[in-house]
Chain A
Amino acid sequence: MNQNYAVPAVALVVLATVLVGALGLRISRTTSDFYVASRTVGPRLNAAAISGEYLSAASFLGIAGLVLVQGPDMLWYPVGYTAGYLVLLVFVAAPLRRSGAYTLPDFAEARLESRSVRRLAAALVVGVGWLYLLPQLQGAGLTLHVLTGAPRWFGGVLVAVVVVATVAAGGMRSITFVQAFQYWLKLTALLVPALFLLLAWHGDGAPRVAFDEPAAFREQRTVRVDDTLDIKLAAPLTVTATGTVDGTRHHAQRLLLPAGTHRVERGTRLVFAPGDPVPGGDAGGSGMSTPLAHARQERPLYATYGLIVATFLGTMGLPHVVVRFYTSPHGVAARRTTVVVLGLIGAFYLLPPVYGALGRLYAPELALTGQADAAVLVLPHLVIGGVGGNLLGALLAGGAFAAFLSTASGLTLAVAGVLTQDVLPTRGVRHFRLATLLAVVVPLAASALVGGLPVADAVGLAFAVSASSFCPLLVLGIWWRGLTPPGAVAGMVAGGGSALLAVTATMAGLPGGGPLHALLAWPALWSVPLGFLTMILVSLATASRIPAGTAAILARFHLPEALYAGQRTAPREVQP
């Protein structure tokens, strides 16, 4: 990767972000502008903003890396990320907008008239938001490190500074422009190099081995191991090694490695013959492409269904997704916006598989050395080369950085909104700016402390927690009259809490293996029904506590605005 091209590209993206943000700042006048862009964002602009915010680095870099390492089954991630919006559309979008609330805690309080439900929802929103922010900051550090050799903390700090500046200065109005701009930037940055790569692939005779399973080397390939790693072999493999393998030094010797795990020390050179399957590597789990891979290998079907449930149902509860719907002018616009979002996100997700497939073809050794996340960034250089390859690589670097910036700003905005309303003593724009700082600094500090938590793991955890706590709250809150405050609290604690505990236990490495391990690593399949059931049963048991205003609130959620306008109690406008 040529840093002479990458550094200007990243700088350009940062500069453009600040400029577009400043443009929004000039027309951001009132408090309402600040929080919800005065609720006047039309479907197209809002949809581009939602998509721009949603497509994080895990989408831009991570999916191609996952596909490269683990094959096409990983394409369930983008499918789930997209289908989540369909579920959100049919159950939540319009009523959520009509609820007139600004954040999930607002929704919880408006629906259930209970401060304690509100506080629990606020805690969960902040928790999920920080969980999601952490890998964004870490990923930015990793990307900048790969691209330019800058120290690992630098990328995270850069993202944090830019995000705080744009969010604190302009609020929702300017962020809307920034994120709409970044969607188109990301799409272009992924589309243009993909076209050139496909042309190069075509010129290469359009080899189809990329789709074979497992991935194999096409030609004799020498792989230099930069960091000590463990490789896992499903079958015995013969390689030529120069360096230390399993504690023994070799010099250009042919080795027959039996199936199992082998330790390869740094500086070792391995030569693979054409047709050899690409072994899986594990370089300490610092990348985005190792999402609980072991549990997946043991029980692929269970893991796939767990992933489907978490992503399909988890999207509706993600704090940065929810907050965007309040900027639509009315419920009908919120629905139409979601359809456009589905189209935009679906179009984007056609591209990462291209990179994943070409990566398997032209850079299979990335899977071995644990740098699969860099596949998208280095492919133009490997396949096309020359100035053209470098320019396309720079475009991709800029797009990747846009991905970090947009998702991080959306999350920061959502977390800061909740912090302002529920944690800080007084409200107002000045405290919102303080909350913005707080929203970013905590995960930044955590990323310095925790070190390498794989991006996809943390993102998957956020989805699972959201699916088992916010999904029952939203769906039952919108469609069921019988929901009570104790029921909501119990359901969120049982569902979200157990999902959180399960994945934390997996990450800490508690269960060694077997069925229990898979059960804990992919909790959504049991924690979502647990959340729903607890919420329903406890609500039924405490039926006397059904809030008095339930019927009126549900009428507001579901009646078209034109009809509702005549009602005596006007919808509560947000005055944060």
Chain B
Amino acid sequence: MPQDPTERRVVVTGVPRRTRGLGGYRPRTEIDEQTTLGHTYVRSLMRSQLLAGLTVFAVLVLLVGPLPLVFAVRPQNPGLVWGVLGFGVYPPLVLLARWYVKRAERNERDFARLVEDR
């Protein structure tokens, strides 16, 4: 330990230089530089994410959409309405949400693997 703090040695570091800049091809740079190919990559991610979202939305519509009609044609069974709307619909909603999050995160991981070229 030097006595005088001004004498302390300081290591100056810079941003690590990219070693793969020219030689190795990386799809990542296509995205960074917004080339047509880069846009195609982003489009593919968007498409897979939209597909996951639309799948969940379609299941939701098929699940919930017919319910008012079912209740309307079966008015003699009020317990059905209480059971379904008071309790039954909530677990499927949470399950659908969990499925979507898993799917969306997997899409992003796959995409990262693709563009990081690993």
A interface, CB within 8 angstroms of B: 71-73, 75-76, 78-79, 82-83, 85-87, 89-91, 94, 211-213, 300-301, 304-305, 308, 312, 332, 335-336, 338-339, 342-343, 346-347, 349-350, 353, 357, 479, 551-552, 554-555, 558-560, 562-563, 566-568
Interface string of B77-105 (1 = CB under 8 A from A): 01101100111011101101110110011
Task: Kindly identify which residue among B64, B72, B82, B105 contacts A211, using a CB–CB cutoff of 8 Å.
Answer: B82
B101 and A563 contacting across the interface, CB-CB below 8 Å: no
The verdict on B37 contacting chain A, using a C-beta distance below 8 Å, is no
Bound CA span A332–B79, Å: 40
A568: chain B residues within 8 A (beta carbon): 32
A357: chain B residues within 8 A (beta carbon): 82
B interface, CB within 8 angstroms of A: 28, 31-32, 34, 38-39, 42, 45-46, 49-50, 52-54, 56-57, 60, 64, 68-69, 71-72, 75, 78-79, 81-82, 85-87, 89-91, 93-94, 96-98, 100-101, 104-105, 108, 111-112, 115-116
Which of B46, B82, B97 lies at the interface centre, i.e. has the most chain A CB atoms within 10 A of its CB? B97
B46 and A343 contacting across the interface, CB-CB below 8 Å: no
A350 and B90 contacting across the interface, CB-CB below 8 Å: yes
B46 and A75 contacting across the interface, CB-CB below 8 Å: no
**B9 to A: closest C-beta gap in Å:** 32
Bound CA span A75–B84, Å: 9
**A307 to B: closest C-beta gap in Å:** 9
A213: chain B residues within 8 A (beta carbon): 75, 78
Task: Name A566's closest neighbour in chain B (CB-CB).
Answer: B32
Known contacts being A72-B86, A335-B101, is A562 close to B112, with CB within 8 Å?
Answer: yes
Tell me whether chain A's interface is mostly helix, strand or loop, or mixed. Answer: helix
B28 and A563 contacting across the interface, CB-CB below 8 Å: yes
Bound CA span A339–B94, Å: 7
B34 and A552 contacting across the interface, CB-CB below 8 Å: yes
**A134 to B: closest C-beta gap in Å:** 28
A554 and B46 contacting across the interface, CB-CB below 8 Å: yes
A304: chain B residues within 8 A (beta carbon): 68
Known contacts being A83-B64, A86-B60, is A350 close to B87, with CB within 8 Å?
Answer: yes
**B43 to A: closest C-beta gap in Å:** 9
Bound CA span A213–B72, Å: 13
B105: chain A residues within 8 A (beta carbon): 332, 335
**A463 to B: closest C-beta gap in Å:** 16
Task: Name B87's closest neighbour in chain A (CB-CB).
Answer: A350
B86 and A479 contacting across the interface, CB-CB below 8 Å: no
**B81 to A: closest C-beta gap in Å:** 4
Other 10 A-B pairs with CB < 8 A, given A211-B82, A300-B72, A353-B82: A86-B97, A89-B97, A213-B78, A304-B68, A335-B101, A338-B97, A339-B98, A357-B82, A555-B34, A563-B115
B31 and A90 contacting across the interface, CB-CB below 8 Å: no
**B71 to A: closest C-beta gap in Å:** 7
Bound CA span A461–B91, Å: 28
B42 and A558 contacting across the interface, CB-CB below 8 Å: yes
**B97 to A: closest C-beta gap in Å:** 5
Bound CA span A558–B47, Å: 10
A560 and B108 contacting across the interface, CB-CB below 8 Å: yes
Known contacts being A73-B81, A90-B57, A357-B82, is A560 close to B112, with CB within 8 Å?
Answer: yes
Task: Kindly identify which residue among B57, B72, B81 contacts A75, using a CB–CB cutoff of 8 Å.
Answer: B81
B56: chain A residues within 8 A (beta carbon): 86, 90
B100 and A90 contacting across the interface, CB-CB below 8 Å: yes
A83 and B45 contacting across the interface, CB-CB below 8 Å: no
Task: Name B79's closest neighbour in chain A (CB-CB).
Answer: A211
Known contacts being A308-B64, A558-B45, A559-B45, is A72 close to B93, with CB within 8 Å?
Answer: no
Task: Kindly identify which residue among A300, A346, A479, A555 contacts B42, using a CB–CB cutoff of 8 Å.
Answer: A555
**A305 to B: closest C-beta gap in Å:** 6
Known contacts being A86-B93, A211-B79, is A79 close to B64, with CB within 8 Å?
Answer: yes
**A302 to B: closest C-beta gap in Å:** 10
